[in-house]
Amino acid sequence: MTQRLHLVFGGELIDPTKTAFRDVNDIHIVGMFPDYASAFAAWKANAQRTVDDAHTRYFIAHIHRLRDEAVAASPTEELGL
């Protein structure tokens, strides 16, 4: 079975319509999760906790989709994703 790692993180954005953080040193790393369901639960809990702050956003990064520059074609590229 292939492992599908997901990173949940968030913080204050410069502009709520964009994805640039105001201070990258202040990004809240929620954690790394072994599947999308657990990552989504963590994302949702943090997103709901900060719902009144329009400049704060949380994201799920699909770590298993990152490109490996040392490999001619990463598994993601081979899938056409």
pLDDT in tens, 4-38: 899 999 999 999 999 999 999 999 999 999 999 99
Contacts of 25 (CB under 8 A, 6+ apart): none
Residue spans per domain, the chain: 6-79
CATH architecture of 6-79: 2-Layer Sandwich (3.30)
pLDDT of 66 reads 75
Of 39 and 2, the one with more pLDDT = 39
pLDDT at 58: 97
> Taking the model in full, what pTM does it have?
0.77
pLDDT-derived band of residue 52, with 50, 70 and 90 as boundaries? very high
Nearest-10 Cα torsion for 66, 5, 39, 13: -30
CA distance 72 to 57: 34
